[in-house]
């Protein structure tokens, strides 16, 4: 899908889907050779909650409570859609929800 978008718009190189996440490493879990690291980004102001990110990687990104800076590729996929019963703002009785999952993969993955 990304390759199709790049073919249609060459100015959308792979760098357009790159992000750098900086924050405090709060949790790491390991499953099937992949590390899942939770990083809390800085709060925008004193009244906001810190923003959590989960980064997938082949290696451990640091120790608990380390401040890390990680270059990632943004990805994602659709989850299975489902119907929600009830009043839709447009007047329909039911609506279909199609959840989207965003992924952040370390460059080594």
CATH of the domain at 101: 2.40.50
pLDDT, one tens digit per residue, over 21-69 is 999 999 999 999 999 999 999 998 999 999 999 999 999 999 999 999 9
Question: Is 12 within the bounds of a domain?
Answer: no
Asked if 104 and 57 touch (Cβ cutoff 8 Å), the reply is: no
Q: Residue 84: its pLDDT value, please?
A: 85
Question: Is 3 within the bounds of a domain?
Answer: no
Count of domains forming the chain: 1
- The range of the structural domain enclosing residue 72 comes to 18-106
Question: Is 93 within the bounds of a domain?
Answer: yes
Question: Is 4 within the bounds of a domain?
Answer: no
């Amino acid at each position: 899908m990304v390759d199709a978008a790049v073919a249609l718009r060459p100015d959308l190189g792979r760098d357009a889907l790159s992000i750098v996440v900086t924050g405090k490493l709060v949790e790491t879990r390991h499953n099937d050779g992949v590390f899942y690291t939770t990083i809390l980004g800085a709060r925008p102001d004193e009244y906001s909650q810190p923003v959590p990110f989960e980064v997938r990687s082949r290696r451990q990104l640091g120790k608990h409570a380390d401040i890390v800076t990680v270059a990632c590729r943004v990805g994602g996929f659709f989850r299975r859609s489902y119907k929600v019963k009830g009043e839709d703002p447009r007047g329909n009785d039911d609506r279909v929800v199609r959840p989207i999952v965003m992924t952040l993969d370390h460059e080594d993955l």
